Amino acid sequence: MTHTTQRIAAALLAATTALGCTPAKKEEASVSTDKKPAVSAAVTKPAAAPAPADIPAPSDVAAPPADAERTATGLASKVLTPGEGGAHPGPADIVSVHYTGWTTDGKMFDSSVKRGKPTSFPLNRVIAGWTEGVQLMVKGEKRRFWIPQELAYKGRPGAPAGMLVFDVELLSYTEAPKPLPVPSAPADVAAPPKDAARTKSGLASKLVTKGSGEAHPSATSVVEVHYAGWTTDGKMFDNSYQRGETAKFPLNGVIPGWTEGLQLMVEGERRRLWIPEELAYKGMPGAPAGMLVFDVELVKILQK
């Protein structure tokens, strides 16, 4: 469920270094009572290293040249250094890159090269121009992109405006986790069956698959789960299977129905939960309304 998952998000941060220098200060001579020579000392503070200079903009920063490749979306690009092989990253793969970005007037606004440290992120968590553009690349390739405003930060306060120009070097990439088969809505999604267990709070549940563990998580345990969630009309609103990865979270950081329901389980168990609205997202804007049904597999208790 969207409110319980922690998704990988990658941000491109700019860093600056302040230049400071403290002049030497000369101390007064000390007077010795045993007639030894007076000693004076000058104490100096080392000057800070100068901040790295901005990387100059390319000569074609104002507009893509005639030989630039163009896509149907308006993205323009040009290979600066060929890469190796013929494999390209996918739209959700995690890439490691070095990059520098300029506005079309030649002002640099961000650069991993200047910071001396590459950055990594999933391609589906960045601006559309990057998601599309980096998929054109192969490992080791360096490419220049002219990204129109519609594929960049249009309407985002504080972000650079207009067309942006990036030099990107694709250092490596890792394939995104493969999606797992998504379970269908259960036949009893509309209401808990007669043989469902019920608690005083109104939570109903039913064992689907027995677990192999014996310990139960506590209300503050950190757990790892796979899950799928439906509204009572059988519409799925969230699941971990399509993302191809489990969800991890503390039980005191989710809806009350999960906090209570997961404590009934042991590792390896799969249980169906019918969670009344009072124990789910009642009054929360944008969240699914009414009773919710979850199939939850407790993969592991990470922290008791």
Q: Name the residues annotated as catalytic.
A: 99, 109-110, 127, 153, 166
Query: Quick one: which H or E segment has residue 129?
Result: helix 128-134
Number of residues in the chain: 304
Question: How far lies 231's CA from each of 102, 189, 299, in Å?
Answer: 47, 8, 23
CB 112 within 8 A of CB 95: no
User: What are the angstrom distances between the C-alpha of 195 and each of 42, 188, 192, 281, 304?
Assistant: 86, 11, 8, 26, 30
Phi (first) and psi of residue 176, to 5 degrees: -65, 150
Place of tokens 């120009």: 165
Interior angle at CA 303, CA 240 and CA 178, nearest 5: 25
Q: What is the dihedral of CA 268, 273, 278, 281, to 10 degrees?
A: 70
